[in-house]
């Protein structure tokens, strides 16, 4: 058997007809031999075996002297012929026949016991078929199954994972009703206590890297928007520094004293104190500032609680002006909320406004401060007296603007326009402004421009403008 004759049948491209004729005569024999070696051996033995005569040409189909139908099959079987290569249509795929579950023959008591699992879709197919067949004939079980299905729907009710912002207040109120505190927190200190706790909860949730997220503090100065760039930690340092004014008024340690030790006098104004604290820090503030700020808030609330009503008569100096302690803590609660929103925006954290009763007190403080701010603006030339000023003696009614606050913390306030000592009067009302409660607070914080704040305004345009700009002037760093 020559090598040339061995590979000629496989590699010779000029004999396609001879191969087709061999495949037609042999049928699927080559494939059968490839798939079953025993069958191929038996076939070769029946034809005379590998050692029978016929020469080398008999070892390959189409060899010399052998017809395509008389030669022995090749010892190396050919690859199987795929159906796709024949050009014939492919057979249709057969799907297994769906067999319906055969209901089980179960007694009534067992079927009734399966109703709970059926309502939860925890039965097997056969059990489900048995229960559903039974429900068509037993009215009592059908009613029970309906009640169970409705109960399952209540178990899977979708709810938000975010906690209700009023949850903390409700829990505390419920606890205090059951067991009143021996030393209660004064009502006028409750807004500061609540806002400090909410901000502390926000700080607890953020990561180390987010303490260095950029924050831009915004306020109005000389009727122009002003801003200062800092970080989340810088904002907490700012709150720590300004809250120190209240701490000093209560006889507590000033947090700025240790920070600026040996560098001169301690500033009095909020902005100056903050800048001094930032300059005195050897490194940019980080999350370590949270602990002293939180401890100071606890000391403030604890001190006013132990002092009682007498502490509320003290005053807190802000440098250019003073506030009673009660109003100062309310002012600090407002600043705590405003800067908490600044931090929440910087770290993409959801943050809700204060409780309505606390928000109402913050709005009331701003409304009570507006007449004094209007007087200061007139003295500095930022606003002019009205065309028809109604100067009145202290305690007498004067020209007024009605401030209507809608939504959370809503209410109405009559703002005297010509003198801080005058009393707002509906009989002397010359203008009316309507704003949303949260929007008014953002105006007072310097986060909204006066031109964009009022939702509705009627009356003296000059008076309306003066009040809106005076509200924006309440903001500070």
| CA–CA dist 322, 324 (Å, integer) | 7
What percentage of the chain has pLDDT greater than the value 70?
A: 73
- State yes or no: pLDDT of 316 exceeds 80: yes
Mean local confidence (pLDDT), 185-195: 92
Q: What is the 3-state secondary structure (H, E, C) of 279-325?
A: HHCCCCCCHHHHHHHHHHHHHHHHHHHHHHHHHHHCEEECCCCEEEH
- State yes or no: pLDDT of 189 exceeds 90: yes
On average, the pLDDT of the chain sits at 80
- Helix, strand, or coil (residue 403): strand
pLDDT tens column, 32-41: 433 444 444 4
The pLDDT value given to residue 174: 86
- Exposure string of 167-200, with b = 16+ CB inside 10 Å and e = fewer, is eeeeeeeeeeeeeeeeeebbebbbbbbbbbbbbb
The pLDDT value given to residue 390: 64
Asked if residues 337 and 343 have their Cβ atoms less than 8 Å apart, the reply is no
- Helix, strand, or coil (residue 227): strand
Mean local confidence (pLDDT), 237-251: 94
Secondary structure tally for the chain: helices H, strands E: 19, 8
Q: Which residue has the higher pLDDT, 332 or 14?
A: 332
What percentage of the chain has pLDDT greater than the value 90?
A: 43
| CA–CA dist 118, 159 (Å, integer) | 25
Q: Which two structure tokens, joined as six digits, stand for 82? A: 């795929």
Distances (CA, A) of 324 to 244, 317, 319, 355: 15, 9, 14, 23
Distances (CA, A) of 451 to 213, 217, 224, 467: 30, 20, 12, 11
The pLDDT value given to residue 51: 43
Mean local confidence (pLDDT), 145-164: 71
Mean local confidence (pLDDT), 201-228: 92
* 221 bridge partner residues: 224
Neighbours of 5 (CB within 10 A): 15
Q: Which residue has the higher pLDDT, 31 or 122?
A: 122
DSSP-assigned letters across all residues of 125-150: HHHHHHHHHHHTT-HHHHHHHHHHHH
Confidence of residue 396 (pLDDT cuts 50, 70, 90): confident
The pLDDT value given to residue 434: 94
Name the one residue in this structure whose structure tokens are 């809608």.
406
Q: Which two structure tokens, joined as six digits, stand for 110? A: 């067992």
The pLDDT value given to residue 63: 44
Q: Give the range with max mean pLDDT: 4-18, 99-113, 281-295, 390-404.
A: 281-295
Size of the chain in residues: 477
Asked if residues 250 and 314 have their Cβ atoms less than 8 Å apart, the reply is yes
pTM value is 0.64
The pLDDT value given to residue 394: 76
How big is the chain by its Cα radius of gyration, in Å?
45
Of the candidate ranges 99-108, 126-135, 228-237, the one whose mean pLDDT is the lowest: 99-108
pLDDT tens column, 48-98: 444 444 444 444 444 444 444 445 555 666 666 665 666 677 667 666 555
Angle between helices 356-379 and 461-473 (to 10 degrees): 110
Neighbour-count burial of 117, counting CB atoms closer than 10 A to its CB (0-12 exposed, 13-18 middle, 19+ buried) = middle
Residue in 383, 403, 399, 409 with CA at minimum distance from that of residue 456: 403
Mean local confidence (pLDDT), 449-455: 82
Neighbour-count burial of 446, counting CB atoms closer than 10 A to its CB (0-12 exposed, 13-18 middle, 19+ buried) = buried
| CA–CA dist 435, 421 (Å, integer) | 25
Neighbour-count burial of 416, counting CB atoms closer than 10 A to its CB (0-12 exposed, 13-18 middle, 19+ buried) = buried
Name the one residue in this structure whose structure tokens are 């209410």.
411
| CA–CA dist 22, 40 (Å, integer) | 16
Of the candidate ranges 174-178, 231-235, 248-252, 309-313, the one whose mean pLDDT is the lowest: 309-313
Asked if residues 457 and 431 have their Cβ atoms less than 8 Å apart, the reply is yes
The pLDDT value given to residue 204: 92
């Amino acid at each position: 058997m020559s090598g040339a004759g061995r590979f000629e049948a496989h590699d010779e491209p000029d004999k396609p007809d001879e191969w087709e004729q061999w495949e037609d005569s042999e049928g699927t024999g080559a494939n059968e031999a490839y798939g079953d070696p025993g069958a191929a051996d038996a076939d070769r033995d029946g034809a005379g075996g590998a050692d029978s005569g016929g020469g080398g040409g008999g070892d390959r189909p189409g060899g010399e002297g052998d017809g395509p139908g008389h030669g022995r099959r090749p010892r190396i079987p050919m690859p199987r012929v795929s159906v796709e290569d024949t050009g014939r249509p492919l057979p249709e795929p057969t799907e297994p026949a769906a067999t319906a579950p055969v209901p089980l023959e179960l007694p009534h008591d067992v079927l009734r016991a399966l109703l709970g699992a059926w309502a939860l879709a925890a039965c097997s197919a056969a059990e489900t078929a048995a229960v559903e067949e039974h429900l068509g004939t037993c009215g009592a079980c059908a009613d029970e199954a309906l009640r169970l299905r409705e109960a399952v729907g209540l178990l899977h009710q979708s709810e938000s994972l975010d906690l209700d912002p009023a949850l903390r207040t409700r829990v505390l109120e419920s606890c205090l009703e059951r067991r009143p505190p021996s030393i209660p927190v004064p009502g006028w200190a409750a807004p500061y206590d609540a806002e400090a706790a909410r901000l502390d909860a926000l700080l607890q949730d953020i990561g180390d890297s987010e303490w260095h997220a950029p924050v831009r503090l915004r306020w109005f100065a000389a009727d122009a928007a002003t801003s200062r760039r800092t970080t989340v930690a810088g904002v907490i340092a700012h709150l720590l520094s300004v809250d120190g004014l209240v701490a000093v008024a209560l006889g507590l340690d000033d947090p700025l004293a240790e920070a600026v030790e040996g560098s001169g006098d301690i500033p009095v104004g909020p902005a100056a104190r903050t800048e001094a604290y930032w300059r005195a820090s050897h490194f940019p503030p980080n999350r370590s500032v949270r602990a002293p700020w939180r401890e100071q808030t606890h000391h403030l609330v604890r001190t006013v609680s132990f002092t009682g009503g007498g502490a509320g008569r003290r005053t807190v100096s802000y440098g250019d002006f003073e506030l009673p302690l009660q109003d100062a803590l309310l002012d600090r609660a407002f600043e705590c909320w405003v800067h908490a929103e600044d931090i929440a925006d910087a770290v993409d954290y959801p943050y809700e406004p204060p409780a309505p009763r606390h928000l109402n007190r913050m709005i009331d403080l701003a409304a009570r401060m507006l007449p004094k701010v209007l007087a200061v603006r007139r003295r500095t030339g930022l606003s002019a007296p009205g065309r028809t000023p109604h100067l009145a003696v202290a305690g007498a009614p004067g020209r007024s603007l009605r401030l209507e606050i809608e939504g959370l913390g809503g209410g109405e306030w009559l703002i005297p326009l010509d003198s801080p000592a005058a009393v707002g009067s509906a009989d002397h009302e010359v203008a009316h402004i309507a704003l949303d409660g949260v929007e008014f607070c953002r105006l007072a914080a310097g986060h909204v421009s006066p031109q964009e704040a009022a939702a509705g305004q009627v009356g003296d345009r000059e008076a309306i403008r003066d009040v809106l700009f005076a509200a924006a002037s309440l903001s500070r760093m």
